[in-house]
Structure 1
Amino acid sequence: MLAELSAALIAEVERAAKLLGTKRRICILTGAGISAESGIPTFRDKQTGLWENYGAEDLATPEAFVRDPNLVWSWYQWRRQVVADKKPNPAHDALAQWQYHSHSSGQHITLITQNVDDLHEQAGSTITHLHGHLWRNRCSQCKTPYQKQSRGSYSSADTMDYNEELISCPHCDGYIRPDIVWFGEALPVQAWETAEEAAANCEVFISIGTSSLVYPAAGLAQLAKDNAAKIIEINPNPTPNTIVDINLAEKAGMVMPLLIQKITAL
């Protein structure tokens, strides 16, 4: 792996590790890029197959579900099948290792994700989801959780039901929908409070695989900066963000194992 990283990048990783090794409160935000390395398409990727004529922004909205609930439900059932066999990559594993190591090192690491997959959980991390969970459902009317589709232990998708027929809520007869934050919807209150508190009180904020364009999550780095935190970005395509202190311009799966190796060796 080291042979594939430039000397300049390795030097930046070492600089990041030295910084992180001296800090106690770390806040990490992950985005679509880290899941893309496991083969999960991002919302910016062109739809394929039956969905090539649809844009994700046209399907992932409450208005779209009201207009054609069967279409939206079918799309999410298809997405679930696409994601079902995907596994954590070295970046997920490294983050889980770091979180585990932090229990004995005295660091407090808050891991937050914009992703709706369960790859962080599969790797063993404790994670706060800002945009919901692909494997969970709730009623579109009364919001009661509907657990039949839940993946539970995150260990297997073998028992998943990918039937495209709409399901009615047993409490109010409303249609069941994915428990995901759609465009135009508010983030879950508790998850956002956790993210805000972690960003405002951290000493280092790390952005991994996110374009920093989707608000309000994109504002977390600025919140951290406003409270004197250092900002590290890990992204093969760096964002034009002037608040970043250390930029690791490479895939997270390449950078994170080396970074965690150096942190835990300190």
Structure 2
Amino acid sequence: MSIDPLTSACAMASSGLLLVVTGAGVSLASGIPTFRGADPGAVWSVDVTELGTVDYFRRDPIGSWQWYLRRFGSLHAARPNPAHFALATLERWQVARGGEFLLVTQNVDGLHEQAGSRELVQVHGRADRVRCSQFGCRYAQPKGWLPRDREREEAFLREPTAANLPRCPACDAPLRQHVLWFDEYYTGHRDYEIDRVLQAAKRAAVVLFVGTSFAVGVTEMILERGLSRGAKLFALDPVARDPHPSVVPVVATAEDGLPALCRALGAD
């Protein structure tokens, strides 16, 4: 489908808020698997809704840490692709002409930040951080966190035992991933910035969903608020998803479609 309607909508939003919501499809060209079962290497080809839970962590913290360290191991070498850089360019272009911009990503890989995005919410957390699992600790929710200790994590992988579990330096409780699990709430940690996201969804002139399957709660919440606001809604994805009749599909990969949008706007 033509990118022209999206280009026109973005061009007209010079004094409004341009809200972009990205999912795993944005990072596929960086070598990071998506969550879609039909994609090669997709994480949802295993039961992530079972493994990606606080309940599983409490029952088997060793298994949880092993699964996440295998999953996050591929992130260290990943680099931003043209989609990430195009979104950073789009932000600079929108701000330079007096508009507002916010990028909300469901991804935890940090590639948007590496590419230069600044007005950014990492609504599902960050893979480069961990936090304490003991509520009330200063390194736990609702606002605490720690940087990853790769040396400690490598030692755990060499000998995955309870004695080697990464532990909190303050209270010695097991550390956990700094990500939103399937049985948790967006209000669980300050870093998720869910209030900022929902306020932006209410004010946005244009909402662009990129590389998302609309399978998680935040996309539904943003979509509902965008519809009530009368925002212009678009979904850029190689599969023509139709989450709502008011969402205009733009059939393209993120790494092709987003640079093309920047060129069409004169933003490159």
Decide whether aligned partners of structure 1 residues 54 and 211 sit closer, same or farther in structure 2, where only a CA change above 3 A counts: closer
| Amino acid corresponding to residue 261 of structure 2 in structure 1 | L
Give the deviation of 1:219 after TM superposition: 2.2
> TM-score scaled by structure 1?
0.84
> TM-score scaled by structure 2?
0.84
Give the deviation of 1:260 after TM superposition: 1.1
SS in 1 for 2:3: helix
Q: What runs of 5+ residues in structure 2 fail to find an aligned partner?
A: 157-163
Task: String of CA shifts for 1:164-197, please: whole Å, max 9, x gaps.
Answer: 3311212222100110010110114561111101
| 1:102 corresponding residue in structure 2 | 94
Task: String of CA shifts for 1:104-157, please: whole Å, max 9, x gaps.
Answer: 11121110011111010110102101110011000011351452417xxxxxx9
| Amino acid corresponding to residue 173 of structure 2 in structure 1 | G
| Amino acid corresponding to residue 149 of structure 1 in structure 2 | R
Task: String of CA shifts for 1:26-76, please: whole Å, max 9, x gaps.
Answer: 111101111122211123349999x99952222111111111101111111
Q: CA RMSD in A?
A: 2.7
State the alpha-carbon separation in 2 of the partners of residues 226 and 195 from structure 1: 15
Q: What runs of 5+ residues in structure 1 fail to find an aligned partner?
A: 1-8, 151-156
Pairs within 5 Å for 1:208-223? 208-223=210-225
Task: String of CA shifts for 1:205-230, please: whole Å, max 9, x gaps.
Answer: 11101111211432212211111101
Structure 1 runs, 4 residues or longer, greater than 4 Å off: 45-49, 51-54
| Amino acid corresponding to residue 133 of structure 2 in structure 1 | S
| Amino acid corresponding to residue 227 of structure 1 in structure 2 | R
| 1:21 corresponding residue in structure 2 | 11
State the alpha-carbon separation in 2 of the partners of residues 80 and 260 from structure 1: 31
| 2:128 corresponding residue in structure 1 | 135
Decide whether aligned partners of structure 1 residues 149 and 54 sit closer, same or farther in structure 2, where only a CA change above 3 A counts: same
Structure 1 residue 180 corresponds to structure 2 residue 179:
yes
| Amino acid corresponding to residue 86 of structure 1 in structure 2 | A
Q: Identity rate of aligned residues, in percent?
A: 30
SS in 2 for 1:76: helix
Decide whether aligned partners of structure 1 residues 58 and 202 sit closer, same or farther in structure 2, where only a CA change above 3 A counts: same
